[in-house]
Chain A
Amino acid sequence: DTGVSQDPRHKITKRGQNVTFRCDPISEHNRLYWYRQTLGQGPEFLTYFQNEAQLEKSRLLSDRFSAERPKGSFSTLEIQRTEQGDSAMYLCASSIGLAGGSGANVLTFGAGSRLTVL
């Protein structure tokens, strides 16, 4: 297993276009997370999947954002009608779900997909 893979690594698009990012987690990890990092900020939580179920979606995600994880394997994050404010690094992470609280789960991150909206 080569870790968490994200594709594409870089995407430049014009405002109003749709973009899709893909994340392939570590195969035995049942939990998958999307975070976003904008310039000068730390990563911010976007959404979380346990297997194929999307259990939570941050208020940061407008209706233009949608994430899926069909069959509990890879995940996609789609942004429709991109805006310049969507420019950021989109990070995917996965973890094994431990019994009890989730807060001690070690996240394995991908290298991120950097989006630039012109």
Chain B
Amino acid sequence: ILNVEQSPQSLHVQEGDSTNFTCSFPSSNFYALHWYRWETAKSPEALFVMTLNGDEKKKGRISATLNTKEGYSYLYIKGSQPEDSATYLCASSPDGTYKYIFGTGTRLKVLA
């Protein structure tokens, strides 16, 4: 994998459903993996920065895991709410560079 790839591109879930997305990134020269949430007409908001293989982070109903050896991260949302509707972006920083490489995002719509 040369680029950061996210899947799915978009999804709709019902309120209360749990969901997860995938971010795949180059595993060589790994330094850090970032997750951001971007609501329409607002600023992208940082969710997590993960650096260690096996890392697991949690913020309320949202959690993320990291596998640096195989180059993927999962973002989980438990009990989705309409306010979780947003685009979720991941970004890799190979070699510790400040030139973060972003994926194209997963657009989540939570239906009430």
Contact = CB atoms under 8 A, between A and B. Distances in A.
Interface of A: 3-4, 31, 33, 35, 40-45, 48, 56, 58, 91, 100-112
Nearest to A105: B98
29 contacts: A3-B43, A31-B98, A33-B98, A35-B102, A42-B91, A42-B103, A42-B104, A42-B105, A45-B99, A45-B100, A100-B96, A101-B95, A102-B93, A102-B97, A102-B98, A103-B31, A103-B32, A103-B93, A103-B94, A103-B95, A104-B32, A104-B49, A104-B93, A107-B34, A107-B36, A107-B100, A108-B46, A110-B43, A111-B41
A31 B96 CA distance: 15
B108 interface: no
B98 A48 contact: yes
Contacts of B101: 45
B89 interface: yes
Nearest to B105: A42
Question: Which residue, A56, A107, A110, has most C-beta atoms of chain B within 10 A?
Answer: A107
Contacts of A33: 98
B41 A48 contact: no
Contacts of A35: 102
Q: Which 8 pairs, one residue from A and one from B, show the smallest C-beta to C-beta distance?
A: A101-B96, A103-B93, A42-B102, A103-B96, A103-B31, A102-B98, A103-B32, A109-B44
A112 B43 contact: yes
B64 interface: no
Given A45-B101, A102-B97, A107-B100, 11 more contacts: A42-B6, A42-B103, A48-B98, A48-B99, A101-B32, A103-B94, A103-B97, A104-B49, A107-B36, A109-B45, A112-B43
A40 B106 CA distance: 11
A43 B32 contact: no
A63 to B, nearest CB: 20
Contacts of A112: 43
Interface string B13-48: 000000000000000000110101000011111100
